[in-house]
Amino acid sequence: MYYKILFFFLLLIIHNTHQAQPSKSPALQPAVTEGYIRMGIMIGTANYFGDVYADASSTRPSVAVFMTRKISPHTHIRINLSMGRIEGDDAKATEGSSLYARNLHFRNDLREIFVGFEYDFKASYGKHKKRKDFTPYFVGGIALLHHNPQAKTPTYLGNNWVDLQALGTEGQGQIGYDKPYSKVQITIPLGLGLKFKIDNRWDFGMEIVPRFTFTNYLDDVAGTYPNLDDLGNPLAAAMSNRTLETIASNTNKKRNLELLYANFGSPVVYTGFDGNTYQTLPTFQNGGTNRGNNPLKRDIYLFTGFHLSYIVNVGLKCPQFR
């Protein structure tokens, strides 16, 4: 669905930039382009691309407030404050598949501060009243993200939401494993939008802006299965390897373990160095087997939305770049 929307935006941009190229003659353009400040709110959706299974049913709401300052006929600087939730659940994958067998899920409430720019493909000269009735635009910049992945505990442990980062489900923080990942990340938003002039002060628009991250842990899944006895915490062990749970804790639906045994074999039982007994499906072994399956090794989240904005300050000068 994301690629279809992006393709639609690209077609509009190509069509409009071809049909409405601004004049190159300085004599035909106003000597001064007015700057102005615009403020708005955006309501939309949040989606995610990573290791855990996610489809259209995983779409969740997002909201943002933003401010822009026009600095040239094409360009506005922009600041956003955004919030949204992403989630995924292997229990929704095809029964008997490796994702269904892995049985991980998560939710993550994202809070983001974004600083960047909008580049209008159709330039607007003169006063704010003379801005284009319609323009596609490109948006890009840099963002600071706070995230905190959570998952529900197995039904026998209360079926409660818990924070995952502190548990170190892949051994993070233990001797011989990676350090814990940070809940504060830098991201690169790059996307496309459309703006429509409603009247002299009001604009309506829509945009689709994926955020490219530098982490693979928005879903708490990236590396390999640890030795469960290394975790030193029964809850961490339970949240790390969930292949043999009889109930999918996020959906409360019974899992088809008989099909999993037929596809992957009978459970492997072993005693850890801590003296406790652990079980898992074959090929989901502790100690070296991949737990994540993201070929990009970086998670992506996507905010798509509709926005309404109002020009609150006019008569400002655009900076003169020489």
Selection from 165, 30, 168 nearest residue 108 by Cα: 165
pLDDT of residue 18: 47
pLDDT tens sequence for the chain (322 residues): 544 554 554 554 445 444 444 444 444 555 578 999 999 999 999 999 999 999 999 999 999 999 999 999 999 999 999 999 999 999 999 999 999 999 999 999 999 999 999 999 999 999 999 999 999 999 999 999 999 999 999 999 999 999 999 999 999 999 999 999 999 999 999 999 999 999 999 999 999 999 999 999 999 999 899 999 899 889 999 999 999 999 999 999 999 999 999 999 999 998 888 888 889 999 897 766 789 998 889 999 999 999 999 999 998 888 765 5
Q: Measured between alpha carbons, how far is 98 from 76 in angstroms, rounded to an integer? A: 47
Q: Are 287 and 241 in contact (CB under 8 A)?
A: no
Selection from 259, 260, 278, 258 nearest residue 268 by Cα: 278
pLDDT of residue 20: 44
pLDDT of residue 2: 47
The CATH class given to the 2-18+37-223+294-315 domain equals: mainly beta
Q: Which regions of 124-250 does DSSP assign to beta strands (E)?
A: 134-146, 150-152, 161-163, 184-197, 202-213, 247-248
